[in-house]
A and B are shown apart, each in its own frame.
Chain A
Amino acid sequence: MLEVRDLHAAYGAILAVNGVTLDVRSGEIVTLIGANGAGKTTTLNCIAGLLKPKSGSVRFDGEDLARVPAHDIVRRGLVMAPEGRRVFPRMTVAENLEMGAFTRKDKDGIRADFERVYGLFPILLERAQQVAGTLSGGEQQMLAVGRAMMARPRLLLLDEPSLGLAPLIVKRIFEVIRTLNEAGTTILLVEQNARMALKTAHRGYVLETGQVTMVDDAARLLADARVQAAYLGE
């Protein structure tokens, strides 16, 4: 479904991604783990079209995305919930969710997805008319995930959805990721919380200073001594 080949990306002279190759197959949850500054966000930004890679290619359903602007990538079913939540602070929760469905015209489907998001995150229904800037961090994260769901993604990119959240909310977010996947959404998950990510995902990639150093089934990575030492604190 997603094929990233030999991706290079830089900020000015600083090379942030240095030859990343990865695949996500339809129906999978794939996680991308790595230390701070490894290039995870940069990789996702290239896939979502926010950043133009220096070289390499990104293909979605076989189509090269090099010339597709970010706003059209969304229309193809590839949607990202960016790092740091990035909800629209002066819009209400309901309006934020509505923006998630910006590209859609099917009124009934949108209404059904509102129900689905409110079902998964009941707190968002309670806060529906509150402006998003006044939500707590955890609530904003739920909103960011819910907003991405409103686009009906076939492939959902999540960049550190659990960052800074209390354990109970982290658990909730991972449950929702599993639920979405079971309902047919393919997921590429970037996480600091490597343990939860590897427990949830089918496969994992380890990224170090802009390069993929390991690829394997998530369960095997979880058991790998090097991964345990570097990312699981054991």
Chain B
Amino acid sequence: MFDTIAQQLIIGLTNGMVFALVALGYTMVYGILEFINFAHGDVFMLAAFLALTLVGALDVTQQTPPGTLAALLLGIVVACALFAGGLNYAIDRVVYRPLRRAPKLAPLVSAIGVSFILQNVGLFWGGSAMAVFGGGGQAAAPKAFPDILPQTNLAASLFGVETKLTLLPKDLLVMGASVVIMAALYGLVRHTKLGKAMRATAQDPNAARLMGIDVDKVVGATFLIGGALAGVAAVVYSLYINTIHYQMGYQNGLYAFTAAVVGGIGNIPGAVLGGLVLGLVRAFSDQFIGAQWQPAVLFGILIVILVFRPAGLLGSTAREKV
């Protein structure tokens, strides 16, 4: 029993961290623009496609020596972060920025449009483009992401006792990478000049302008950072789930968005908490209730949370003085 609970904790936390990384992109943009970037999940998807392409192109396998593997993996993470960050920035610059003063539905519908366009890009990329690197030419088919990390179970050696628990290097990688990135983001938002400008802009963009803050630049930086987080999340997800698909951005994006709302949309620690809650509820519901009931159980619980805390777990309902 203890093993089972511990196992679900590991699964829940790792999944939750991935949701959290994606949720951060939704919540940061919402915090500043009060706008849901529906294309965010698809930026995540394309970054996963880039990761698979790079793994194929660089011929990374389980046989790659550990030192080289670590270096290549780091390179892939950085490349995917830059790619997703740049793509997200470009989408804002080209599509959303011209609509900044438009009625709210215009950017919303545009974001949904960009989401579909990116899915088509994924479809194309997953077809003939990917085939070059042996990723399989079936455009719409799910693609296997190879297990490139060692499959040694660390649980026994770590806890030194007989246990049925499985703890793989990739579990540690997911958690380690996520914690480091979230801590870095927190430090950035809390203490750097850019971070303070982001908070000020989120709280009152016109007042921020009067401080000399270039709001367009701050918004651009927010899309860049949010996209980069999705890029890292994509690599981590691919290594963890081992399957990617051109529609993976849709479902995961929706889950991550839900996590952001449950945590309190616009609130950075809230997105992390929401992601972890989502991951854990999912894992335990799969184990104790059955995977086929997951959506109903998961969203049932989330709705109950929202009924009692409509602004989300960390969202404040207190009205501020104006």
Contacts and interface: CB of A to CB of B under 8 A. Distances in A.
Contact of A151 (B207, B208, B212): B212
Contacts of B199: 88, 90-91
Interface string A64-108: 000001111011000110101011111100010011101100000
Contacts of B320: 89-90, 133
B197 to A, nearest CB: 7
A86 B211 contact: no
A50 interface: yes
A71 B209 contact: yes
A140 interface: yes
A158 interface: no
Given A88-B204, A89-B203, A50 B196 contact: no
A102 B203 contact: no
B210 A74 contact: yes
Nearest to B319: A133
B322 interface: yes
Interface string A157-172: 0000000000000000
A98 B200 CA distance: 11
Contact of B212 (A74, A84, A86, A135): A74
What bracket does the count of chain B residues touching chain A fall in? 20 to 34
**Chain B binding surface SS class:** helix
A88 B210 contact: no
B210 A70 contact: yes
A88 B321 CA distance: 10
B221 to A, nearest CB: 14
B69 interface: no
A54 B211 CA distance: 24
Interface residues of A, number: 31
A223 B214 CA distance: 45
Contacts of A137: 321
Contacts of A79: 210
A102 B204 contact: no
B209 A88 contact: no
B215 interface: yes
B214 A95 contact: no
Given A99-B196, A102-B197, A140-B321, A88 B215 contact: no
A102 B212 contact: yes
A134 to B, nearest CB: 8
A201 interface: no
A48 interface: yes
B206 interface: yes
Interface of B: 193, 196-197, 199-200, 203-204, 206-215, 320-322
8 contacts: A82-B206, A82-B207, A88-B207, A89-B203, A89-B320, A90-B199, A91-B199, A133-B320
* Top 9 closest pairs, chain A to chain B, by CB: A74-B212, A103-B212, A86-B207, A70-B209, A89-B320, A133-B320, A102-B211, A88-B203, A99-B211
Given A91-B196, A99-B213, 12 more contacts: A71-B211, A74-B210, A74-B212, A75-B212, A80-B210, A84-B322, A86-B204, A86-B207, A88-B200, A90-B320, A102-B211, A102-B213
